[in-house]
Structure 1
Amino acid sequence: MTTLHLEHASHAHIHGPACGHTQVPHGDHVDYAHDGHLHREHGGHWDECEPDGHAPHEGHDHRHGEGCGHESVLHGDHVDYLHDGHRHAPHDGHWDDH
């Protein structure tokens, strides 16, 4: 899974541990949930951090939802759930691994 390089134009807010936005571990960096999308610092600016391609989370029997015990992150038109250091998103009857 790779990330696309989509710079978030005119993003003046600086994310960090105390900025108030949910931190989402993502491989070798941390994304920040902000305004329904995820940002990551890259080369002095902030990128939109999106997965490339479709990566189903195989063997994931847990059903995420309100009260499931995992933190939810609004992400565009759906909700992702933080689980075991990655994000799960519902897709076509299974969970994708972002």
Structure 2
Amino acid sequence: MTTLHVEHPSHTHAHGADCGHTAVPHGDHTDYAHDGHLHREHAGHWDECETDGHVAHEGHSHQHGADCGHESVLHGDHVDYVHDGHRHAAHEGHWDDH
């Protein structure tokens, strides 16, 4: 799974620890949930942080939901759950690893 490099044009807001947006650990960087999508800093600009491809999180029996204890993040037309440094999203009866 790779991350697509799609620059978010005209994004003047500087994300950081006190910016008010949810910080989501993602591999070697931090994404910030903003208006239903995720941003990451990259080479002096902000990218849309979207994965390329479908990766099922095998052996994930935990059911995420409103009271599961994991932070929820609005992501486009669905909700991701931050779990162990990555995001899980419900997909066709299993959980995807974003």
The residue number in structure 1 matching 2:65 is: 65
Cα RMSD, aligned residues only: 0.5
Q: Give the distance between the partners of 2:4 and 2:26, measured in 1 at CA.
A: 13
The residue number in structure 1 matching 2:93 is: 93
CA drift of 1:47 comes to 0.2
Cα displacement string for residues 31-88 of structure 1 (whole angstroms, at most 9, x for unaligned residues): 0000000000001110000011000000000000111100000000000000011000
Q: Give the distance between the partners of 2:11 and 2:32, measured in 1 at CA.
A: 13
Aligned residue identity for 1:71: E
Segments of 5+ residues of structure 2 without an aligned counterpart are none
The residue number in structure 1 matching 2:79 is: 79
CA drift of 1:2 comes to 1.2
Q: Give the distance between the partners of 1:59 and 1:35, measured in 2 at CA.
A: 31
Q: Give the distance between the partners of 2:41 and 2:84, measured in 1 at CA.
A: 22
Q: Give the distance between the partners of 1:13 and 1:94, measured in 2 at CA.
A: 35
Structure 2 length-normalised TM: 0.98
Aligned length: 98
Q: Give the distance between the partners of 2:86 and 2:59, measured in 1 at CA.
A: 15
Aligned residue identity for 1:59: G
Structure 1 length-normalised TM: 0.98
Q: Percent identity?
A: 81
